[in-house]
């Protein structure tokens, strides 16, 4: 057994060579080759010996190995069958790791949590996510309302900034609202390209999402709320009035939209990026009767 951590350039190269593994661009495979970065992620995620960890896309086991050393149990979802024998090998000395060969987007994660972890055990998601599919994975985890305490993920810096953005900033948009409706979002560290093999073209950040027990706003219709948010960012440079008029075409004219906005004291000339979540909630609720 090799005592050197998986997340080192030499060991990663050895493993890839031994298995003749080639990276699949379509799966967005970039493996981490820096142990300190991984230890930092685990610390930011709040992983301890009482915690259960869920990992998505373990690759050759760089992060999995570190998680196994700190968590009581680790369940990792890996879509690429070619990696299963490698994980079997690199994680051979850890009896607390269970690898599931499934696409996380098609998995019943709630059922896996029930089957694999102790009742009431704190569950934390920790992952180095493939860039091309970050948003669908995170939105699935959030919308499934899983019994997890937090999600800590390495993702593209620009996407992390958007998810944690405040109103009146360039990064703030419908994605910020969607993520912050379910979680408290914070970018906890930035990561250079050099810690990956192969190196990606973009910079990365670690985003920490602490799950909320309840959304920060009460809305009458969640789906409609998110639709209205999306509509107001339809064309970023346009005013609320213009974006809403386009969205409700045939249902509401500009005069009627103006009346609704006046009722909740929101200036029709503002842009979507200036609205707080509370204002979006008021806007969605007052427009709800005109949803169809």
Average pLDDT of the segment spanning 274-292:
93
Q: Concatenated DSSP letters for 29-44?
A: --EE--HHHHHHHHHH
Q: What is the pLDDT of residues 248-263, one digit of tens each?
A: 998 888 999 999 999 9
**3 confidence band (pLDDT: 50, 70, 90):** low
Tell me the pairing of strands 150-156 and 183-191.
Answer: unpaired
| H/E element, 191 | strand 183-191
Average pLDDT of the segment spanning 44-62:
96
- Could you tell me if 263 and 257 are in contact, meaning their C-beta atoms sit under 8 angstroms apart? no
Q: What is the pLDDT of residues 55-114, one digit of tens each?
A: 999 999 999 999 999 999 999 999 989 999 999 999 999 999 999 999 999 999 999 999
What pLDDT does 236 receive?
82
Closest C-alpha to 211, from 131, 253, 148, 269: 148
**In the chain, where the domains are located:** 9-211, 222-290
pLDDT > 70? residue 283: yes
pLDDT > 90? residue 2: no
What pLDDT does 198 receive?
86
pLDDT > 80? residue 27: no
Average pLDDT of the segment spanning 218-243:
94
222-290: CATH architecture: Orthogonal Bundle (1.10)
DSSP conformation class of 165: P
What pLDDT does 174 receive?
95
Highest mean pLDDT among 15-24, 169-178, 190-199: 169-178
pLDDT > 50? residue 1: no
Average pLDDT of the segment spanning 157-175:
96
Distances (CA, A) of 156 to 103, 184, 191, 204, 240: 20, 18, 9, 4, 29
Closest C-alpha to 99, from 76, 130, 124: 76
What pLDDT does 138 receive?
96
Is there a common fold for 9-211 and 222-290?
no
d(CA 45, CA 62) in angstroms, rounded, equals 16
Is the bond into 250 cis (omega within 30 degrees of 0)? no
d(CA 69, CA 49) in angstroms, rounded, equals 8
- Could you tell me if 206 and 153 are in contact, meaning their C-beta atoms sit under 8 angstroms apart? yes
d(CA 37, CA 15) in angstroms, rounded, equals 20
What pLDDT does 131 receive?
84
pLDDT > 80? residue 23: no
Fold designation for 9-211: Rossmann fold (3.40.50)
What pLDDT does 42 receive?
97
């Amino acid at each position: 057994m090799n005592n050197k951590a998986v997340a080192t350039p030499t060991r990663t190269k050895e493993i890839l060579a031994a298995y003749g593994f080639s990276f699949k661009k379509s799966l967005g495979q970039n493996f981490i080759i820096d142990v300190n970065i991984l230890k930092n992620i685990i610390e930011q995620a709040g992983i301890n010996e009482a915690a259960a960890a869920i990992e998505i896309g373990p690759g050759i086991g760089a992060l999995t190995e570190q998680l196994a050393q700190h968590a009581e149990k680790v369940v990792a979802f890996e879509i690429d069958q070619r990696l299963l024998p490698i994980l079997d090998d690199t994680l051979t000395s850890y009896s607390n790791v269970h690898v599931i060969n499934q696409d996380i987007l098609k998995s019943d994660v709630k059922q896996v949590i029930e089957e694999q972890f102790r009742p009431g055990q704190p569950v934390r998601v920790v992952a180095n996510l493939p860039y091309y599919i970050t948003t669908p994975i995170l939105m699935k985890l959030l919308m499934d309302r899983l019994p997890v305490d937090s999600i800590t993920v390495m993702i593209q810096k620009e996407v992390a900034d958007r998810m944690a953005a405040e109103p009146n900033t360039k990064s703030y948009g419908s994605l910020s609202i969607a993520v912050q409706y379910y979680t408290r979002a914070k970018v906890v560290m930035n990561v250079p390209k050099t810690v990956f093999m192969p190196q990606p073209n973009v910079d990365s950040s670690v985003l920490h999402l602490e799950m909320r027990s309840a959304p920060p706003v009460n809305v009458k219709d969640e789906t409609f709320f998110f639709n209205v948010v999306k509509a107001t960012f339809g064309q970023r440079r346009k005013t609320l009035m213009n974006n809403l008029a386009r969205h409700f075409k045939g249902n509401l004219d500009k005069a009627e939209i103006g009346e609704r906005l006046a009722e909740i004291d929101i200036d029709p000339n503002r842009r979507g990026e200036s609205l707080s979540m509370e204002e979006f909630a008021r806007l969605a609720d007052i427009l709800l009767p005109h949803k169809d």
